[in-house]
Amino acid sequence: MISRNPIQAIILLFLSLILTNNLSAYNEPGAFNLKVPTGIKSGNAEFKIQHRFAGKINEDPFNTLFGMYMGANINLSLRYIVWSKLELEGSYSNYSKESSLCASYSYSFPLMKALLGGQFFSYEEYNLDKKSFERKSSIMGLLSVQTEPIIKRIILTIDIGYDGYEKKPGAGLGASIIILERPGTLKKLILIGEYFPTKLNSDVNNCYCFGLRAETYGHHFDFIISNGSEIGLRRLMLGTVKEEGLYFGFNIKRLIERG
């Protein structure tokens, strides 16, 4: 079911902002949607809310509040660093009632880091012949490579995946640039852009997004403009079926430290 109340989303974002407190440094470099090698310490976890509004920001913006009254795609996820760089992540999206469980391992090399992982996913799809919903399940393999900061400001990321259900490879490219770094509650401001060049057929468009991240010591806040409202690396690699236009979204990530 699609959420149609933007006020709830705004209240949620506001409460997360005012409840921010100083924790240990939350160094998780990188991306809005791409999977990246973890920077979280062993025994800690990360809770993430992803929210993508379904309406265009430039189509009747005042009546739809920049697309926020046209419904939304929402995802909740929890990551836990089990040991060293081994992590588990579970997530759920209201779109197609999709759930997933991912295991991955990160490793550091000179000048870069890499992640190798696998994801089990399950979602509902409407069968026109049977006139009912069916649950589809499969696995996805993933390799992510990310550079160490270039001139202490720029991080580049590439993800390569294979969707076991669609039997198609996919890719995602990302870049982040630190534009402000200082001590205090607001730790960093970062410009981020991502592009997903895989197209399955002429009916879908390649996905892209860009925006701003505000980092504190306990939260990361992402403000995103995209050409679609899909959530999740696998779906973004499949392309977007949204009508041409721009859509607004945000992520809220919270570090949960071991006591």
What whole-number percentage of the chain has pLDDT above 90?
Answer: 53
Give the per-residue pLDDT at 162: 95
| CA angle (238, 208, 92) in 5-degree steps | 55
Strands 207-215 and 86-93: unpaired
Q: 201 phi and psi, to 5 degrees?
A: -160, 180
Q: What is the mean pLDDT of residues 69-98?
A: 89
Which helix (H) or strand (E) covers residue 119, if one does? strand 112-127
Q: What is the pLDDT of residues 196-224, one digit of tens each?
A: 997 655 678 899 999 999 988 778 899 99
pLDDT band per the 50, 70, 90 thresholds, residue 225: very high
pLDDT band per the 50, 70, 90 thresholds, residue 164: very high
Alpha-carbon span 99 to 232, nearest angstrom: 10
Beta partners for 89?
79, 102
Whether the predicted pLDDT of 99 surpasses 90: yes
- Residue with the bigger pLDDT between 177 and 216: it is 177
Which of 27-36, 97-106, 125-134 is predicted most confidently? 97-106
Q: What is the mean pLDDT of residues 93-97?
A: 88
Give the per-residue pLDDT at 64: 57
CB 204 within 8 A of CB 129: no
User: What is the per-residue burial (b if ≥16 Cβ within 10 Å, else e) of 56-84?
Assistant: bbeeeeeebbbbbbbbbbbbebebbbeee
How many other CB atoms are there within 10 angstroms of residue 204's CB atom? 15
Q: What is the pLDDT of residues 107-142, one digit of tens each?
A: 999 999 999 999 999 999 888 877 888 999 999 999
